[in-house]
Amino acid sequence: MTDVRVTGLSAANSVAAQRMAQADPVLVDVRPALAALPGMQPHMILTSGAPMPWSAYTGGQRRAIIGAAQYEGLASSAQDADARIAAGDILVRACHDHGCVGSVTGVTSASMPVLVVEDRNSGTCGHCLVYEGPARQRLTYGVWNDAVRDQLLHVRDVIGPALGAAVRAIGGLALKPIMRRALGMGDDLHSRNVAATSIFYQRMAVPLLTTPGSSDVALEVLRFLEKSELFFLHVGMASGKATADTARDVAGSSIVTAMVVSEREFAIRVGGTGDTWFRAPLPPLEAKLFEGFTPDDLAFMGGESLIMETIGLGGMAAAAAFSLQDYSGGTPAAMIATNEQMYTITETEHPEFKIPFLGFRGTPLGIDVAKVVTTGVTPAIHMGAAHRDGGHIGAGLLRAPLEPFQEAVAALHDAAVA
Amino acid sequence: MTDVRVTGLSAANSVAAQRMAQADPVLVDVRPALAALPGMQPHMILTSGAPMPWSAYTGGQRRAIIGAAQYEGLASSAQDADARIAAGDILVRACHDHGCVGSVTGVTSASMPVLVVEDRNSGTCGHCLVYEGPARQRLTYGVWNDAVRDQLLHVRDVIGPALGAAVRAIGGLALKPIMRRALGMGDDLHSRNVAATSIFYQRMAVPLLTTPGSSDVALEVLRFLEKSELFFLHVGMASGKATADTARDVAGSSIVTAMVVSEREFAIRVGGTGDTWFRAPLPPLEAKLFEGFTPDDLAFMGGESLIMETIGLGGMAAAAAFSLQDYSGGTPAAMIATNEQMYTITETEHPEFKIPFLGFRGTPLGIDVAKVVTTGVTPAIHMGAAHRDGGHIGAGLLRAPLEPFQEAVAALHDAAVA
């Protein structure tokens, strides 16, 4: 370990963390994935997590991928979709390799509208699907049926285009001021986005209403936003991707640039090792479930909203969001303790994202795999909980497994001595 | 003191606190003061605080009253207004005696639009002026000039009527859910209302846009709301008056039903002594001032927003609003200590207004003058700071003086043994 710390990583880490700290994410457009995402193809379906062979997808993530194939008209049935994917006629790829991050299953196909966020400092872009709506059952949570199809069509045909037009009309919406402010209003910007969504609503209402087009559509978008408390999560995630990717090409950096889960694995990427995934089996999720559900109902089906922790939010800002007690469980004392622990594994403190309870101390920013390994403290991650048959059934706290961090340190060490 | 506690007050206090806890305030209309306020007259000007002789008003409160006389066309000049008030041709009265509460100077005249809030449980109504706008200089803060006149006209002719029509169209807007939710988003609902205003915006946008009338006007109201972070304070205050007045007629109660300040005095009312004011000289305000101002600039010019503390908010919910550090000063530790102290002088805990940091403990509700006197702990009040020449220059913490509580206890004792 010591070798890693003394071979110039600290300068690289400082660069990586500073790039993330200085990022200026701006929502510039909402466009179909095919038009927006680098390398996207009509017969490609993106999904969360470090990629696995198709046969390894057996649960909600598989259901959502097969659903998307049908939704896009790439397959006539679930069986047909399965065969075409197995044959390589439909490509299943990782969101992170196409400038994108996905919520839960993260399934993103060509016609679905994505939020386009640009870091105005570096030009780096990040993308994420537009939030699907507040229904418990959605493709994001591994459900595919007619109601889900209708939701997706509504977002594709109404919500996405109207938001895109309004955002273009105002020349982009700066997101950092919204995120900074929402942290002062009890959001962690991962499991809780009610303040950010509310501010987003306020900033976009007049642009939506004054952009040429049907005023009925503008009203429909406002009604959709009002009932979608987690809407901003996807905006924040696209912002997170644009921010974290600024640290992706810093040679020698031991700062985490992505954390993801699939149905089976937790995985991370680190600046100094580029696009290599360091993987481990999934740790348990300590979740608080909606009424009527039990821990037996839980299943993982992917997720890349961990990009929020990667940029110093979510579990890194737990002490900003005491209201999460009601939603994802835990006590204020535990949230504070967890949050303070995160300062021991991060490179710096965010200059703008601040925690009121901690006297406006900046959030812990830049997870350093070397510090994780030295301390044995792994990132605390806020995360939604999925039902094994699909559907959103709660939220909770995930503690990253140590192994991927150990493997990353070993790989950085090998690279440094090579 | 002991006598007071054993002569049946505890049952009366329980009734008083329960009425406040159960109040269901609904914004039902926005109408001119003359039409809405009981006993209002065209040549009457209401102002904050326990009433004083006209000659006692010498600062910002005097300026605002004289300004309102000119605004209403009741006087042709400041000198004329002064003479007519002195002669009794223009009446200066207390807001609280006309179903109303006023922010800072609290100056409310016949044509100004007031928010009409009805407690759906009891039918009790409370009123407060519509927020004047975000300018530092306004009548509320003791300034009268052409710009202030234009602001008042804009609120009277555009904002008030449009909001009134939209609120009537939806059959009223329930406020308790908004206030409850805002507490979970870092508002204390006195010095900080940014979350409540944001939720209010979301709830009212579609009604404003779909109520028959000019869509340009609806957009104008939305723009006004977006820049007016304290807008909801006045909505909350009207709600506070409707709530606190439910405890105004509980015989034998030692629960505070109003706290007010004028230019010269702090005063309270208590349920068991009806409309008697118990007064004392003003205590100091520990304020954090906007850049460029010093404590020498400070002056009191009235205020009845203390109705928020009366119903268990503001200083009673300090630990819900750590972001106030930036605005009104203090540390999280001090906010928590102050908040916890408030439980020692209150009758109960609010069943719906809850503080996330305290594990969703209900806010301290129902200030009991007997407990205040026994403990020597007086209410902690969040309050705006005014410049002696007029204008809003900061905010801070006011500790109520003990004397009015002592006098109230003595009066309750006299009444009990009479």
C-alpha distances out from residue B170 to A9, A169, B407, Å:
61, 31, 45
Residue B7 has pLDDT above 80, yes or no: no
Strands (E) across B175-331 are located at 256-261, 265-270, 278-281, 285-289, 298-299
Residues of A contacting chain B (CB within 8 angstroms):
184-186, 194-195, 198-199, 201-203, 205-206, 209-210, 215, 219, 222-223, 225-226, 322-323, 325-326, 331-332, 356-360
Q: Are residues B273 and B399 in the same domain?
A: yes
| Residue-wise DSSP of A278-297 | EEEEPPPEEEEEPTT--GGG
* B86: number of Cβ within 10 Å: 12
pLDDT tens digits, residue range A377-404? Answer: 999 999 999 999 999 999 999 999 999 9
Q: What is the pLDDT of residue A4?
A: 42
Residues of B contacting chain A (CB within 8 angstroms):
181, 184-186, 194-195, 198-199, 201-203, 205-206, 209-210, 215, 219, 222-223, 225-226, 322-323, 325-326, 331-332, 356-360
Whichever domain contains A36, its CATH number is 3.90.1710.10
For A10, residues 6+ apart whose C-beta sits below 8 A from its C-beta are: none
Q: Looking at the domain assignment, is residue B18 inside a domain?
A: no
pTM (two decimals): 0.95
> Nearest-CA residue of chain A relative to B201?
A202
Residues B263, B59 contacting (CB under 8 angstroms) = yes
Q: Are residues A44 and A8 in the same domain?
A: no
For A238, residues 6+ apart whose C-beta sits below 8 A from its C-beta are: A25, A27, A101, A114, A115, A116, A117, A126, A127, A128
Instruction: Say which of A185, A205, A332 has its CB closest to residue B222.
Output: A205
Instruction: Say which of A202, A219, A356 has its CB closest to residue B198.
Output: A202
Mutant choice from B183, B229, B231, B322 vs A, greatest count of A C-beta within 10 A: B322
Tokens of B110: 């016949």
Element containing residue B392 per DSSP (H, E): strand B392-399
Average pLDDT over residues A308-336: 95
- B209 vs A201: CB contact, 8 Å cut-off? no
pLDDT tens digits, residue range A218-271? Answer: 999 999 999 999 999 999 999 999 999 999 989 999 999 999 999 999 999 999
Distance from CA of A356 to the nearest CA of B (A): 5
Q: What is the pLDDT of residue A237?
A: 98
Distance from CA of B336 to the nearest CA of A (A): 10
Examine the fold and report which residue of B240, B273, B294 is the final residue of a domain before the chain moves on. Answer: B240
Chain mean pLDDT for chain A? 95
- B202 vs A201: CB contact, 8 Å cut-off? yes
C-alpha distances out from residue A160 to A129, A172, A293, A301, Å:
9, 15, 33, 25
Q: What is the pLDDT of residue B215?
A: 86
**pLDDT band of A8, cuts 50, 70, 90:** low
Element containing residue A176 per DSSP (H, E): helix A176-183
Q: Are residues B173 and B40 in the same domain?
A: yes
Split into its structural domains, chain A has a count of 2
- A359 vs B205: CB contact, 8 Å cut-off? no
Residues A135, A147 contacting (CB under 8 angstroms) = yes
Q: What is the pLDDT of residue B8?
A: 56
Residue with tokens 């993260």: A106
Residues from chain B contacting residue A357 (CB–CB below 8 Å) = 322, 332, 357
Q: Are residues A221 and A286 in the same domain?
A: no
Q: Are residues B40 and B163 in the same domain?
A: yes
Whichever domain contains A320, its CATH number is 3.90.1700.10
Q: Are residues A102 and A211 in the same domain?
A: yes
Tokens of A171: 């020349």
- B332 vs A198: CB contact, 8 Å cut-off? no
Q: Are residues B374 and B337 in the same domain?
A: yes
Evaluate whether ipTM surpasses 0.90.
yes
Q: Are residues A231 and A265 in the same domain?
A: no
C-alpha distances out from residue A273 to A16, A218, A276, A412, B328, Å:
13, 45, 6, 7, 47
Distance from CA of B287 to the nearest CA of A (A): 18
Residue with tokens 């995985």: A267
- A202 vs B202: CB contact, 8 Å cut-off? yes
Tokens of B119: 């407690």
- B322 vs A205: CB contact, 8 Å cut-off? no
Examine the fold and report which residue of B240, B267, B300 is the final residue of a domain before the chain moves on. Answer: B240
Q: Are residues B276 and B412 in the same domain?
A: yes
- A209 vs B209: CB contact, 8 Å cut-off? yes
In sign, the C-alpha dihedral spanning B75, B79, B85, B86 is negative
Instruction: Say what percent of chain A tops pLDDT 90.
Output: 93
Examine the fold and report which residue of A240, A265, A294 is the final residue of a domain before the chain moves on. Answer: A240
pLDDT tens digits, residue range B370-412? Answer: 999 999 999 999 999 999 999 999 999 999 999 999 999 999 9
Domain that holds residue A349: 2-15+249-417
Average pLDDT over residues B277-298: 93
Q: Are residues B147 and B233 in the same domain?
A: yes
> Nearest-CA residue of chain B relative to A223?
B206
Cβ contacts below 8 Å, chain A against chain B, sum to 90
Mutant choice from A200, A202, A216 vs B, greatest count of B C-beta within 10 A: A202
pLDDT tens digits, residue range B45-88? Answer: 999 999 999 999 999 999 999 999 999 999 999 999 999 999 99
Residue B257 has pLDDT above 90, yes or no: yes
Torsion, Cα B145 B147 B148 B154, to 10 degrees, reads: 150
Q: Looking at the domain assignment, is residue B33 inside a domain?
A: yes
Q: Are residues A82 and A153 in the same domain?
A: yes
Q: What is the pLDDT of residue B10?
A: 84
Q: Are residues A292 and A203 in the same domain?
A: no
Q: What is the pLDDT of residue B268?
A: 98
Instruction: Say which of A195, A223, A226 has its CB closest to residue B185.
Output: A195
- A201 vs B205: CB contact, 8 Å cut-off? yes
Distance from CA of B207 to the nearest CA of A (A): 10
Residue B9 has pLDDT above 80, yes or no: no
- B332 vs A357: CB contact, 8 Å cut-off? yes
